[in-house]
C-alpha cells in the first residue's frame, strides 16, 4: 500500500464540495513563490494551466494536487494535510470570497511511509 503525499481534512472536503458545485472540477496548486505561493490555491480545472516545472504529488477529494518542482524539492520529506481556517487570504484561490482559506499542515514522514510513497507525476 503506497502512502499518500497529500490529504484533506473533513472540513476541507466540505469546502471542496461547495466550490465544486459552483465552479465544476477543481485543481490545487502550491507554487512556493511570492504572494501566498506557499499556500494551497484552488482553481477551476479548466482555467488552470499546469506548468512544465509542476509536479502532481497526488489528489485530494477528487482534485489533482500540483506543486512546483522547487517547493517539492524543499518539502519532499513531508506529508501535507490541507485544512481550512477562517480569515481571508490574499490570493486568487476560489475559497477566499467565503471568508476562509485553505492552509497546508506539514509533518515529516515516518520511515515506513517514506519507504512506500505514491509516485509523483511530471507533466507531459
Q: What is the pLDDT of residues 17-75, one digit of tens each?
A: 999 999 999 999 998 766 555 789 999 999 999 999 999 999 999 999 999 999 999 99
Q: Which residues contact 38 (CB under 8 A, 6 or more apart)?
A: 30, 31, 32, 71, 104
pLDDT: is 62 or 1 the higher one? Answer: 62
Asked if 1 and 118 count as a contact pair (C-beta separation under 8 A), the reply is no
Asked if 8 and 61 count as a contact pair (C-beta separation under 8 A), the reply is yes
Beta bridge partners of 58: 65
Stretch 71-82: mean pLDDT: 95
Mean pLDDT estimate for the chain: 93
Lowest mean pLDDT among 7-16, 21-30, 31-40, 90-99: 31-40
Radius of gyration of the chain, Cα coordinates, nearest whole angstrom: 14
Amino acid at each position: 500500500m503506497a502512502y499518500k503525499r497529500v490529504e484533506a481534512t473533513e472540513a476541507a472536503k466540505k469546502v471542496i464540495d461547495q466550490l465544486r458545485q459552483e465552479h465544476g472540477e477543481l485543481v490545487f496548486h502550491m507554487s512556493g513563490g511570492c504572494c501566498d505561493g506557499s499556500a494551497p490555491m484552488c482553481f477551476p480545472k479548466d482555467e488552470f494551466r499546469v506548468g512544465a516545472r509542476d509536479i502532481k504529488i497526488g489528489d485530494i477529494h477528487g482534485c489533482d494536487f500540483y506543486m512546483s518542482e522547487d517547493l517539492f524539492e524543499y518539502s519532499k520529506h513531508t506529508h501535507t494535510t490541507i485544512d481550512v481556517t477562517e480569515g481571508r487570504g490574499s490570493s486568487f484561490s476560489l475559497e477566499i470570497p467565503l471568508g476562509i482559506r485553505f492552509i497546508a499542515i506539514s509533518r515529516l514522514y515516518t520511515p515506513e511511509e517514506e519507504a512506500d510513497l505514491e509516485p509523483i507525476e511530471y507533466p507531459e
